[in-house]
Amino acid sequence: MSHDLYKVDSKTGKVTPTKRPCPRCEKGTYLAEHYNRYSCGRCGYTEFKRNEK
Ligand SMILES: [Zn+2]
């Protein structure tokens, strides 16, 4: 695992992933982040974000 995949908030200690790997493509392929979803530029896989509060 790489630290580049996660972002740690220095105040809250909350860890949030900054990149999501594509489940359909090979390792190293990541989903592009959009305001409400992630999408893969290779295969077109789309994963919608969940609004967690
Ligand atoms: Zn893909």
Q: What is the pLDDT along the chain (53 residues), one digit of tens a residue?
A: 445 667 788 999 988 767 888 999 988 899 998 889 999 999 999 999 887 66
How many distinct structural domains can be found in the chain? 1
Burial (0-12, 13-18, 19+ Cβ within 10 Å), 52: exposed
Tell me, yes or no, whether 8 lies in a domain. no
- Enter the tokens of residue 24: 């359909």
Range of the domain at 41: 22-53
CA of 9 to the centre of ligand 1 (A): 28
Tell which residue, 35, 40, 37, has the closest CA to residue 48: 37
Q: How far apart are the C-alpha atoms of 13 and 7, rounded to whole Å?
A: 9
- Whether pTM exceeds 0.75: no
Tell me, yes or no, whether 9 lies in a domain. no
Tell me, yes or no, whether 10 lies in a domain. no
CA of 49 to the centre of ligand 1 (A): 16
Per-residue pLDDT at 1: 46
CA of 19 to the centre of ligand 1 (A): 13
